[in-house]
C-alpha cells in the first residue's frame, strides 16, 4: 500500500467517486431550489446558515461565498444556537440548516426553536425523508450514494455535495442580482482578484518617478536620468509629447556598437513609437499589453501628454500577477 502507484490510484478513485456524485446532483435540483433562491432574493433579511460537525464547516464557507457575492449571510453553529446564539436570528432572516442525515440531536432540538420564531427555513440535506426535511419550507437535496471514505464513514463526498449546492445557490443569487465585476471588487478591495478589477494605471504610475529627457539631450545626461529615477528606462519627450523611449538595453547596445558616444543624443538611440497606455486604463490591461509585446514597462499618457511609467515590478508588487 505504500508504493506510489497505489497512492496515485487511491487519489484518482477518490476524485472520480466525488465527481460522479457531484454530476448526479443536477438530477436532484427541483422547484424547491428555485423557490428557495427567490425566497432569499426577495427577503429583506439575512441568510443564517447552521450545521454541526463537518456540515458546520461547509456552512461557514457558504456564508463567506454569499457575503462576497452580494447576499448578506451569517454563520451560526447549531450546538451554539441552542445555548444562546439563537438570538442571532432576526425577524426577516431566512435559516438554512445543513445536515447529511437531517436527524442529528442538535438539529432535532434546533428546528422546533426556529419554527417557533416563524422564520422561513431551508433544509440542505441528503435525506429528504428526515426530520429536518419534513419541517423545512424548502428542501435542497444533497444525496450521495456513498462517501469516498472506504468505510463509508468520514464525511467526504457528502460535504463536497453540500458545498456544490451552496455554490449553485450563491451563483443563482448573483445572477438574479446582476452582481458585476465592479461589485465584486468592492467586496474584495485587498485581494489580488479585487485589484484586477479596480486598480488603475494611474494608481501605480503616480507613485513612480517620472524619468524624461528631450530628443536633444546628450547621452551622458540620458544615463544620469535613467540611473537617478531607477526604473531602467526614460521617456523621450518634446513639447509634452512622447516621441521615443530609451531603456537600459538601448544603452548596452549603443556601447557595443560605438566607442565614442560623446556627440550622440537621445534621438540617435531611442526607440520610436514606444508602447504606451492611458492613465485611466486598468492595471490588468497594462499587464496584458506587456505580455503581448514581451516588454517590462509601459509609458503612460494622460490627455495625449506624458504622465509617467508603469513597470512590471509594480504589477508584481501589487499582486496583479
**Contacts by 191-194 with C-beta closer than 8 Å and gap 24+?**
191/319, 192/319, 192/320
- Sign of the Cα torsion 305, 311, 314, 320 reads positive
**Nearest in space to 110 (alpha carbons), one of 93, 86, 136, 129:** 86
Q: Side-chain half-sphere of 207: how many Cα atoms within 13 Å?
A: 11
Q: What residues form DSSP beta bridges with 124?
A: 98, 140
Residue 313 annotated in ligand binding: no
Instruction: Please state the three-class secondary structure of 35-61 as a single string.
Output: HHHHHHHHCCCCEEEEECCHHHHHHHH
The cell numbers describing 185, all together, are: 471588487
Cα(234)–Cα(209) distance, rounded to whole angstroms? 10
- Sign of the Cα torsion 80, 81, 87, 93 reads positive
Q: Which helix (H) or strand (E) segment is 233 a member of? A: strand 233-238
In three-state secondary structure terms, 318 is coil
DSSP string, 151-175: TS-SSSHHHHHHHHHHHHHHHHHHH
Binding-site residues from annotation: 77
Binding-site residues from annotation for Zn(2+): 77
Amino acid at each position: 500500500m505504500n508504493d506510489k502507484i497505489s497512492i496515485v490510484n487511491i487519489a484518482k478513485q477518490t476524485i472520480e467517486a466525488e465527481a460522479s456524485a457531484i454530476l448526479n446532483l443536477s438530477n436532484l435540483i427541483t422547484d424547491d431550489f428555485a423557490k428557495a433562491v427567490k425566497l432569499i432574493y426577495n427577503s429583506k433579511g439575512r441568510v443564517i446558515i447552521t450545521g454541526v460537525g463537518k456540515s458546520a464547516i461547509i456552512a461557514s464557507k457558504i456564508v463567506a461565498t454569499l457575503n462576497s457575492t452580494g447576499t448578506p449571510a451569517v454563520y451560526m453553529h447549531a450546538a451554539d444556537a441552542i445555548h444562546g446564539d439563537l438570538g442571532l436570528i432576526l425577524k426577516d432572516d431566512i435559516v438554512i440548516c445543513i445536515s447529511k442525515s437531517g436527524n442529528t440531536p442538535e438539529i432535532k432540538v434546533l428546528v422546533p426553536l426556529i419554527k417557533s420564531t416563524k422564520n422561513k427555513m431551508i433544509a440542505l440535506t441528503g435525506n429528504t425523508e428526515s426530520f429536518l426535511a419534513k419541517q423545512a419550507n424548502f428542501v435542497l437535496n444533497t444525496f450521495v450514494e456513498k462517501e469516498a471514505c472506504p468505510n463509508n464513514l468520514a464525511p467526504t463526498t457528502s460535504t463536497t455535495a453540500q458545498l456544490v449546492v451552496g455554490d449553485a445557490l450563491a451563483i443563482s443569487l448573483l445572477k438574479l442580482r446582476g452582481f458585476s465585476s465592479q461589485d465584486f471588487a468592492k467586496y474584495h478591495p485587498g485581494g489580488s482578484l479585487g485589484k484586477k478589477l479596480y486598480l488603475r494605471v494611474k494608481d501605480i504610475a503616480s507613485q513612480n518617478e517620472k524619468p524624461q529627457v528631450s530628443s536633444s539631450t546628450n547621452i551622458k545626461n540620458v544615463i544620469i536620468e535613467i540611473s537617478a529615477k531607477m526604473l531602467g528606462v526614460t521617456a523621450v519627450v518634446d513639447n509634452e509629447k512622447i516621441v521615443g523611449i530609451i531603456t537600459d538595453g538601448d544603452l548596452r547596445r549603443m556601447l557595443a556598437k560605438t566607442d565614442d558616444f560623446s556627440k550622440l543624443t537621445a534621438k540617435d538611440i531611442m526607440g520610436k513609437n514606444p508602447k504606451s497606455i492611458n492613465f485611466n486604463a486598468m492595471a490588468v490591461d497594462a499587464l496584458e499589453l506587456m505580455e503581448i509585446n514581451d516588454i517590462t514597462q509601459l509609458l503612460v499618457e494622460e490627455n495625449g501628454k506624458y504622465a509617467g511609467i508603469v513597470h512590471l515590478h509594480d504589477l508584481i508588487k501589487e499582486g496583479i500577477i
